[in-house]
A and B are shown apart, each in its own frame.
Chain A
Amino acid sequence: MEEWARRDSPLHRRDARVKMILLLVFLVWIGTARPAQPEAYAAYASILLVAALASRLPLLSLLWRAALVLPFAATFALLSWMAGDAERAASLVLKSSFSAFAVLLVVATTPMPALLAAVESLAAPKMLVMVVQFLYRYLFVLSEKAQHMWMAAQCRGGIRRASAGGAIAVLFASSHARAEGIHRAMLARGFAGHMPLIRPSSLHWLDISFLATGILVLSLGRWLWIL
């Protein structure tokens, strides 16, 4: 995913804020689509397909990742279907997987820092964005550590309940120490209470026209289906 986000394509080059706004609009559009409207779903699917092709990412891997939502969706779809509501069953599966695919497309074509800067400039609380930023930064560092602990435990005959509690506590301790080290490193470089942020650059005209076209296409789609 990280690697995907650092590739290059027309979709990668668009401003993260624009992609984020279009994503939200798209999600609202899907979320409010009527259950029984095959043409609408076909339209959403083709929009997603065009976007996926424009991203130049491997389509199959994208689909595979978006399919993570299917077990959950399929369970409830099955319930709806058994309750005699096949329409709802189909819409649950389609809506949730289309939405997941759309989110995936944006996240896979935008480096995390740019994405977070966009979310921040779209007025999310700064504290929360910073926490997400640190979380993401140390997610893999700590997961690797946990994995090593897990393997070391397996080598010595697996984990029992009591020792698992201890293992998590050790992980907690080292996370705590790491946070202290980070704080120390921040102070050493002049941290005085606030994190400096590099503001995202101003919008290119291509980004603005991309945003406008996106919204236009989506709205036009909606209107045409009324007719």
Chain B
Amino acid sequence: MDPLIRVSGLRFRYPDGTEALKGVDFELFPGETVILLGANGSGKTTFALHLNGLLEGEGQIRVCGLPMDKISLPEIRRRVGMVFQDADEQLFMPTVMEDVTYGPLNLGVEPAEAMRLAREALEQTGMSAAHAKAPYHLSAGEKRRVAIAGVLAMRPDILILDEPTTSLDPPGQRDLVDLLTALPQSKIVTTHDIAFARAIGTRAVFFEKGSIAALGTVGDIASRFGWEPLPRG
């Protein structure tokens, strides 16, 4: 089976000189949910941004067989749905409906069809009732759902979620697990929350100082790198 995403030898240096990625090799196969673990600053976000063409480093990236170049970039951005860590930055349009239709309209979809796609995506994420609300008035969990809806409306093949449990309460986290397991797309998810990772992940990779130190199951990786939560007591 061909991988949906194949990355080889990816290196990236921020303009200020920080070496954030030092040769990363990675593959994502259909149906997988890969968890990216690793300390703060180990390069997970930087890596994720490359998969959507938002950063451009050295090395090879292929998404659904397409090379990361100017011609296929719009198609790659449609296929790879990126859910950012800060929902306030992702939800920049004045109302939920406008935000969810933003992606489809950019793809050149007719307004009526964009509305239909948006309604469908809001339905899928359980946010239909909020379509006229301003994002500012949503709770953290609702914001996350709308952000996911905004990406689903573009009909992606792959979802990338950067620390999606940030500022969610435990019920919110459980709802998110239910939502993500119900979505058929292949996923890449960065998180520090091992319980969450176990619940949704089929596989994990561990980032250390800009490269991938190990691959394995979530449980393996977590115990090998001391990433288990504090013992109860």
Contact = CB atoms under 8 A, between A and B. Distances in A.
21 contacts: A2-B134, A2-B137, A137-B93, A137-B135, A137-B136, A138-B88, A141-B88, A178-B89, A181-B86, A181-B89, A182-B89, A184-B54, A184-B84, A187-B54, A187-B77, A188-B77, A188-B82, A189-B150, A190-B78, A190-B107, A190-B154
Query: What bracket does the count of chain A residues touching chain B fall in?
Result: 20 to 34
B49 interface: yes
Given A181-B84, A182-B89, A184-B49, A189 B98 contact: no
Contacts of A182: 89, 92
Contacts of A186: 92
Contact of B94 (A136, A188, A196): A136
Contact of A113 (B77, B92, B95): B95
B52 interface: yes
Contacts of A6: 132-133
Q: Is the interface of B mostly helix, strand, loop or mixed?
A: helix
Q: Is the interface of A mostly helix, strand, loop or mixed?
A: helix
B74 A192 contact: yes
Contacts, number: 79
Interface in B110-166: 111, 132-137, 150-151, 154
Interface of B: 49, 52, 54, 74, 77-78, 82, 84, 86, 88-90, 92-95, 97-98, 101-103, 105-107, 111, 132-137, 150-151, 154
Given A113-B95, A116-B94, A181-B89, A189 B74 contact: no
